[in-house]
Structures are given as structure tokens and as C-alpha cells.
Structure 1
Amino acid sequence: MDRRKELAQQYKETEIEAGIFQIRNSVNGKIYVSSSRNLKNLNGKRFELNAGSSMQRLLQAEWNEYGEEAFVFEILELLEKEKSEFFDEKDALKKLEESWLEKLKPYGDRGYNKENPDASRK
């Protein structure tokens, strides 16, 4: 029981890291790119997909078709937090995600993300 308490305490003390992740289909190479303010919660995405409740319909459909073992969760980049009272983590994470979406273009045959029509006007 002491070991269990120790592990729980370690988990609580682990710094929460924000960043960009992808879910990659190893069968067809398609990817889903997103951000999280707490990358420790990626297991929640896996749970969501296993429960059939993901809002990403195409990703959910292919998860159901190929199975969990066909997908790999990968962290692409951790957000470097600035030690400034003016640092806006949410905004910085959004910009970082936009950068990765621009770089990887996970749309159509390449991925599961939906292209934002406003993004092409920037």
C-alpha cells in the first residue's frame, strides 16, 4: 500500500506538460494532429476511441475498422512555457498547433483533421 501511495504522489508531482500530439494510423499513414494542455491525458483520447465516442468521425471509423493496435500516439512537440505573467499558454498552444497543421497538412487522404477555411486566408 505504501508503494501505491508513493506512485500516486509521484504522479501528482509530475509537471503538467502542454504540447502537440498526433495519432498515426500505421496501416495507411493517416494522422490526426491536435494539442493538449495536459499530455498526461492522452489515455483519455484512447479511451474515447475505444468507447466509440470520438468526435473525429473518420478517425473513429478507421479505429473501429483497423483496431487499436493499428494506431500510434506520438508527442510532436512540448510547449515551452515562458516565465512571464503575460504568457498566454492557451494562445501559444493554439499557434503551435497551427504551425504543425501547416507543416503536416493532415487533411483529406493524408489525415483526419478538417481543414479550416479561414486558415488559407492568412
Structure 2
Amino acid sequence: MDNNQKLKKLQYKQTHTEMGIYQIENQSNGKVLLGSSMDLKGIINRQKFELKFNNHKNKDLQNDWNILGEGNFSFEILEKIKPEEEIVTDLGDLKKYQKKLKTLEEKWFEILKPYEENGYHKIK
């Protein structure tokens, strides 16, 4: 795929997807898995798919899902990034959104502290 095709694909994705922060919450104990994505709908669908087919990378979350069942989990969008009006002109513009996502994700990690008994993340 040449750079022009990559740019067109990027422009399409940017104009048709919501970007932001999401969480998966265990309703039984309040533990959360926090994440960010350039495609919120896509990542939430993927997370559900992986959990349903016992293939999620977070084994603690997968174990709780297997024991408690899908009905005990909620998927929520915590914050969205609004795309700017200008059209993405190069891959460097994409990095701008990725940086915003990283900053937002850090903010939500600070707010929720989803570690140990509060979440499915390991303390770094």
C-alpha cells in the first residue's frame, strides 16, 4: 500500500470513527479494565468478541467473565476526542490524536486507579 492509499484510509477512518477512552466494568465487584482507541466502536466489539470466545489477553478479566457471565459486565465510553475540522494531510497528524488519547488515558488511570482490587491492570 503506497502512502497515498494509507492517507486515504486514514482520512476515512478519522471521519467515520469515534476516538476516546472506554472501560469494561465488572458489575459484581467494581473492577475495571481501562483502554483507549482511535475506533471506540471497533475496540468494544473486539473486546466483547474476545471475551465471548475465551480469548481475551487479560486473563483475570477473562476468568471473571467466564465465572460471572456477560450480564455482569458493562462497556462504557468515558470520554471522546472530537476530531478537528481540518482534514488529515499526513501521518504526522495521526500522531497528534494518538498523543491526545495517551494523555486522556493517563488522566483516567489517575482518576480510576484500576489496579489490584480496583481493576484488571498491574501496577507498573
Q: TM-score, normalised by structure 2?
A: 0.76
1:104 is matched with 112
Give per-residue Cα distances to partners, 1:36-61, cap 9 Å, x unaligned.
11011111110001111111111111
User: How many percent identity over aligned positions?
Assistant: 44
Structure-to-structure mapping, 1:28-47, within 5 angstroms: 28-41=29-42, 42-47=44-49
Task: Quote the residue 2:19 is aligned against.
Answer: 18
What RMSD in Å do the two structures reach over aligned CA positions?
1.9
Q: 1:75 aligns with which of 74, 77, 80?
A: 77
* Misfit runs of 4+, over 4 Å: 83-87
Equivalent residue, structure 2, for 1:91: 99
Matching residue of 2:123: 115
Q: SS at the partner of 1:94? A: helix
Unaligned runs of 5+ in 2: 1-12
- Cα offset, 1:15, TM superposition: 2.5
Question: Could you tell me the TM-score, scaled by structure 1's length?
Answer: 0.77
